Structure 1
Amino acid sequence: MKKTLKNVSFVFLLLQLCIIFGQETATQKRILIDVGHGGKDSGAIGINKIQEKDVVLDIALEILSLNKQSKTPLDIYLTRYSDTLISLSDRTKLAKVLKADLFISLHCNHSDNPNARGFEVYVTNAKSQYTENAVWLAFALQASFKKQLGFESRGVKFANFQVLRETLDYFPAVLLELGFLSNRDENNYFSNRSNIRLSALSILLIIQNY
């Protein structure tokens, strides 16, 4: 892989939006986007001091905006719409109350190694009736970020994160680590507003086809 991410133009964005505008869905899916961290919990802090909590909120809000432009928008909710701190248990409780069809938790990565880079997706390491769908979604998301945006794929991984563990028996759930804010290339990537939009679009396109 090249050491720099793809410089995707707005022509790409517009072409992909045309796909969304023309899509028809048989049933409206209810999606909960879990926006990581917030409030006093900044999450990872990037090289230029951008904060994980802000990056993921910007992406989540852009997903909402793009979804509203769709011909048949999905029923999408966020765990937070501003810079507030929501407990992990309250995030999963909300998903259950909403009877979500899908749960996606957004995060950014950090490492002491400045060369660490790439996109990874986590699913629960336990088994349930939703495991197969969660794994399919995880592979689709990591493939999209690699192909469309040029991120290095760190693969699909299994973990016992609380938000995955507590949603195990209710719906497919995945946790995204969108890139390393400790890596100069990826930090700079998420400092660009157009790249925030492209990241949101890549996620939304996969959800639309889920």
Structure 2
Amino acid sequence: MLSSKKIPVMAVALAMILFSFCTWDSRPLNQVKKVVIDAGHGGKDPGTGGGKEKRYALDIALKLGDKIKKEMKDVEVIYTRNSDVFIPLNERAAIANRNKADLFISIHCNAHTTPNASGTETYIMGLHKTEANLNLAKRENNVILMEDNYQKSYKGFNPNSPLAHIMLANYQSAFMNQSMDFASRVESQFRHQGYKSRGVKQAGFLVIWETTMPSVLIETGYLSNPSDARVLASETGRTRKAEAIYQAFRSYKNDVEQNQ
């Protein structure tokens, strides 16, 4: 067990090491002209619900992208995947960084050991406030174990280490406020659509740990909950989920660009 006095020193050291591997490039924070939409899981990684998550997440992502392209001609939409393929987590972030995106949106479905858990959640990078948040981040991050040479790709990152997850928060500190702003709008729109919102939370998801722009991970509902599962299984339900995220994106973009 690590002593409480040693953890801060180790944390700073590890944060500096991790940060040295992050590809950083600055871009204006007062424009939203390019968005990367990431459909969680895919290919050999089915996600939760026996493959339902990878299918539903992709459908919502494509619906969201289509809506943005139709309504906002000045916004370029880039997908990390537009079919049932496996994309390593670090490559998803790299896609956003290479394209100098102004916003990164990762879409997922949730699950819990009890069917009573329900509702939407939107995550930003940050310290783990609850054990549940940490466990969810661990589950999502464990997909790296399916990747070849994952220890080299992620600089020895251990998806089961609480300390390692806490260190990931350092990457997103520069974009915390805008990430929080967009995440809050997403959850507000879900509530407006009549869905239960569990609010904005912080956790260390690898899919957004190396992104150099405001980034969120959206859990659109619990496939382990009968009511949430019915919504996500329906075309109408997925369309409404995409519409809620689009409305959040529209209001976020307008406010960011009006405050230049």
- Same fold (TM > 0.5): yes
Matching residue of 1:7 = none
Q: How far did residue 84 of structure 1 move?
A: 0.2
Q: Could you tell me which amino acid in structure 2 is paired with residue 110 of structure 1?
A: A
Partners of 1:129 and 1:136 in 2: CA distance: 13
Matching residue of 2:84 = 83
Partners of 2:51 and 2:233 in 1: CA distance: 7
- TM-score w.r.t. the length of structure 2 is 0.65
User: What are the ranges of 5 or more consecutive residues in structure 1 without an aligned counterpart?
Assistant: 1-25
Deviations 1:131-182 (A, max 9, x none): 100011111111110122x221111111111122212xx1100011110011
- TM-score w.r.t. the length of structure 1 is 0.80
Residues 28, 75 of structure 1: 8 Å contact kept: no
The percent identity for this pair of structures is 39
Confirm or deny that 1:174 pairs with 2:178.
no
RMSD: 1.7
Matching residue of 1:69 = 70
Residues 67, 73 of structure 1: 8 Å contact kept: no
Aligned length: 179
Q: Could you tell me which amino acid in structure 1 is paired with residue 208 of structure 2?
A: L
Partners of 2:179 and 2:197 in 1: CA distance: 17
Partners of 1:57 and 1:142 in 2: CA distance: 20
The one of 151, 158, 161 aligned to 2:202: 158
SS in 1 for 2:104: strand
Q: Which aligned segments of 4 or more residues in structure 1 are displaced greater than 3 angstroms? A: none
Partners of 2:67 and 2:48 in 1: CA distance: 26
Matching residue of 1:13 = none
Confirm or deny that 1:40 pairs with 2:82.
no
SS in 2 for 1:84: coil
Confirm or deny that 1:199 pairs with 2:241.
yes
Which structure has the bigger radius of gyration?
A: 2
User: What are the ranges of 5 or more consecutive residues in structure 2 without an aligned counterpart?
Assistant: 1-29, 127-168, 253-260
Matching residue of 1:138 = 183
Residues 32, 102 of structure 2: 8 Å contact kept: no
